[in-house]
Amino acid sequence: MKTINTISLVLIIIGGVNWGLVGAANFDLVATLFGSGSIMARVVYILVGVSAIVQLVRLFSPDTSRTTTANA
C-alpha cells in the first residue's frame, strides 16, 4: 500500500504543478508533452484524478498506525 500511496502523491504533485502553470502562465505542460487531447494526455489526467480519490479515501479512513497500546 505504501507504493500506491507514493505513486498517487507523485501524480497529485504533477497535477498540481500542471494546474499551477495553467493558472499562472496559461501553459498546459501535459498537453504540451503528449499533445492536446491525445490518449496519453487523457491517461495522465485520469491517473491524476484517480490518485486524488485514493488520497481522499486515505484522508478520511481511520489511521490505525497512530493507535498506541499500553504495555502491561
Tens-place pLDDT, residues 12-55: 999 999 999 999 999 999 999 999 999 999 999 999 999 999 99
β strands within 5-55, DSSP E: none
For residue 25, what is its C-alpha cell? Answer: 502562465
Task: Please report the pLDDT score of residue 1 as a whole number.
Answer: 82
Q: Is residue 58 scored above 60 in pLDDT? A: yes
Q: Is residue 72 scored above 60 in pLDDT? A: no
Report the alpha-carbon distance of residue 37 to residue 11 in Å, rounded: 19
Q: What single DSSP character describes residue 21?
A: H
Buried b (16+ CB within 10 A) or exposed e, 58-69: eeeeeeeeeeee
Task: Please report the pLDDT score of residue 19 as a whole number.
Answer: 97
